[in-house]
Amino acid sequence: MKIELVEGLTHKASVAVSDENTAIAMKSGSLPVFATPSMVALMEQAASELLEECLEEGETSVGTLVEVKHLAATPLGRTVTATAKVELVSGRKVEFTIIAHDGVNEIGTGRHERVMIDIEKFMNKVGR
């Protein structure tokens, strides 16, 4: 069932910190801690999954802006949860605030924009 897209709507996505999503694995640093690119991907996942619940068949969304601060390191074994909150719906564009938490600390904050698109039209433009 499709959910109405309204300001204030939230969605969470979580991931366990493992060897695969550390700064070492992502080549974004040399320490075995949750990588910034992994945090950004989790934040986008939360927003994308939220919109998937609201879209019609044949639609999806694409990210157009990511602005984040990575505030604290997270060691292996912890679970990181990103919470995306719809702040503004403007036509096809949706703006989110996103917070990432590792169960102990708020590890990241940011804003993210996504645009809702027709998959077929988009892929035709890309030249598939």
pLDDT at 128: 65
CB atoms within 10 A of CB 119: 12
Q: How many CA atoms lie within 13 A of 83 on its CB side?
A: 10
Q: Is there a domain that residue 3 lies in?
A: no
Q: Is there a domain that residue 5 lies in?
A: no
Q: Is there a domain that residue 2 lies in?
A: no
Residue among 10, 36, 97, 109 flagged as catalytic:
36
* Number of structural domains the chain divides into: 1
Instruction: Please answer whether residues 40 and 68 qualify as being in contact, where contact means their C-beta atoms are separated by less than 8 angstroms.
Output: yes
Q: Is there a domain that residue 4 lies in?
A: no
* Residue 127: band (very low, low, confident or very high) from pLDDT cuts 50, 70, 90: confident
CATH code, domain carrying 74: 3.10.129.10
Domain of residue 25, residue span = 10-126
Residue among 70, 95, 112, 113 flagged as catalytic:
70
pLDDT at 25: 98
What is the distance between the alpha carbons of residues 83 and 116, in angstroms, rounded to a whole number?
19
* Residue 18: band (very low, low, confident or very high) from pLDDT cuts 50, 70, 90: very high
pLDDT at 1: 56
Residue among 4, 10, 20, 44 flagged as catalytic:
44
Q: Is there a domain that residue 1 lies in?
A: no
For residue 70, indicate whether it is catalytic: yes
Q: Is there a domain that residue 105 lies in?
A: yes
pTM of the full structure: 0.95
- Give me the chain's average pLDDT, please: 96
Tokens 């945090």, residue located: 39
For residue 44, indicate whether it is catalytic: yes
